[in-house]
Structure 1
């Protein structure tokens, strides 16, 4: 079960597509965070969702907001994926320990071995303010993310 609204967002330290460590706590007090868990790079629904976010990037990555996408792919896979699709925001690898961050947010599917489609809007204090969790085949509506950000 996904963590609830009003819960302190679990911190993590994960490698991005460039091998740099990114921590959620790096943004505390500085930016709201849109945290997007997705199953796997290069799959049609994931690619569509992440490219859609890239098209609206100024709304999701600016002086007030940081978007972060997390999958269970390796950092090497994420680098190739980001380059192929022109994704300029952080793609983090929850590869090892496998699914630790996804489990912390309650969005890891043990049977499939990957994260389901969970999104969390986290305020500058580190509190979850909005969330949506969809099953593996069901794409999310990024307009909901924007509405949640506007409400902060």
Structure 2
């Protein structure tokens, strides 16, 4: 994965969530953010990953983190998926300009037109403190996210 690296300032963005409300990354400063890019709503691996994030959401919020999940899906598709799955975190639409935020983070797949599986842990000052990329066919380990977040909150 090339693009945003550990220690760099996280590229700022404003994206609409599944309810059409704007979320601006820089407005979340003061607390850590777990930024999870995934290829597509309703797909098998993505559904499993986000279900795991949902099941462990209170662990993330208990450590003060905001969880944001980003794909190139439309707001309408994200709303339908979120309503079906009851996700407790924002699903952000990087629909237009298509994949621009994923591209800024170095996780846009030009060939497929989707985000790759890229995860970024951003500290309270807006710096990327940890990142991982996973092949599109493999689910990520949310336990790894929690370990990174605990390390961040213990060593700000």
TM-score, scaled to structure 1: 0.97
Superimposed CA distance per residue, residues 10-36 of structure 1 (whole angstroms, 9 cap, x where no aligned partner) = 00000000000001011112x100000
**Secondary structure at 2:36's aligned position in 1?**
strand
**Secondary structure at 1:14's aligned position in 2?**
strand
Q: 1:23 and 2:54 equivalent? A: no
Shift of 1:63: 6.8
Q: Determine if contact 1:17/1:91 at 8 Å carries over to the other structure.
A: yes
CA RMSD of aligned residues (A): 0.9
Aligned length: 151
Q: Determine if contact 2:17/2:90 at 8 Å carries over to the other structure.
A: yes
Matches within 5 A, 1:40-119: 40-62=40-62, 64-119=64-119
Shift of 1:138: 1.3
TM-score, scaled to structure 2: 0.94
2:123 alignment counterpart: 123
2:4 alignment counterpart: 3
Q: Determine if contact 1:107/1:118 at 8 Å carries over to the other structure.
A: yes
